[in-house]
Amino acid sequence: MQSGSQSVEDGATIAQCLALAGGEKEGVGLALKVYERLRKPRVELASRLGRKVRSNGHMSIIASREIADRRIPNRTFSK
């Protein structure tokens, strides 16, 4: 997974968490904790997959993308 994609996901996730906190200063700490709990498993998985792909340097970009698509579920937010 590319870091640019993760940055976009991070931005969307933190924005959603802060919005759900109601824009109050007191809610920021909780919003950050929720953000970390949402993002940490996905980021750790992406990191493990990245190491695996690097160790298999001969693997094509297409094959590595297919592996990532199968192993990293998409996260969606419901309103």
**pLDDT tens figures, 47-63:** 888 887 777 665 566 66
Structure tokens at 3: 């870091």
The pTM (predicted TM-score) of the whole model is 0.61
Cα distance between residue 57 and residue 11, in whole Å: 30
Cα distance between residue 76 and residue 73, in whole Å: 10
Looking at the predicted structure, is the pLDDT value of residue 17 above 50?
yes
